[in-house]
Homo-oligomer: A and B are copies of this chain.
Amino acid sequence: MSAVPSPYVGVIGAGEASDELAAAAEAVGAGLARAGAVVVCGGLGGVMAAACRGAAEAGGTTVGLLPGPDRADANPWVTVAVATGMGELRNGLVVRASDALIALGGGPGTLSEIGFALKLGRPVVGLKTWELARGGVADASIVAAATPAEAVARALGLAGAEAGRGSGA
């Protein structure tokens, strides 16, 4: 690989998305691609498709790790599709493959990915996503971002810091 390998940033969110959330995901995908990052996702619709569309239209590489056995299920903006046949267990693969993750909105599948990421030490940046607490005390594990641009900047910074610790890839 090149001397400075591209960061891999996962974009996670539900398979159906409001127009507002889809627009944010598309902006996130475009921002990541312009920065040279590879976009990793679950390969399906909603947030995943919007992020891939933004990245692909900016000339980026998008990796879709699909739950089913058929590559044809990938959204049209996935440039490399991996059909895992593992069902929702593929959520863990999305996290493993990423140096940092950006969560946009999100249902329960996104929550599973956030949990995995925190467990594996992958930084998570959140935009309108789950809020966590324990014993009534807010948990700050998810780095909050207010805009797509801020989410991209923070995720890239955290992915690089992670890589800088030598364990990031």
Contacts and interface: CB of A to CB of B under 8 A. Distances in A.
Contacts of A86: 85-87, 89
A113 interface: yes
Contacts of A8: 71
Identical chains in the assembly? 4
Nearest to A108: B118
Contact of A70 (B65, B84, B130, B167): B167
A134 interface: yes
Interface residues of A, number: 59
Q: Which of A63, A91, A106, A139 has the most CB of B within 10 A?
A: A91
A119 B133 contact: no
Contacts of A117: 108
A115 B108 contact: yes
A91 B120 CA distance: 12
Given A63-B82, A81-B169, A115 B113 contact: yes
A119 B107 CA distance: 8
Contacts of A113: 112, 115
Nearest to A106: B134
A110 B134 CA distance: 12
Q: Which of A88, A93, A112 has the most CB of B within 10 A?
A: A112
Interface of A: 1, 5, 8, 38, 61, 63, 65, 69-74, 76, 78, 80-89, 91-93, 96-97, 106-120, 128-136, 139, 141, 167-169
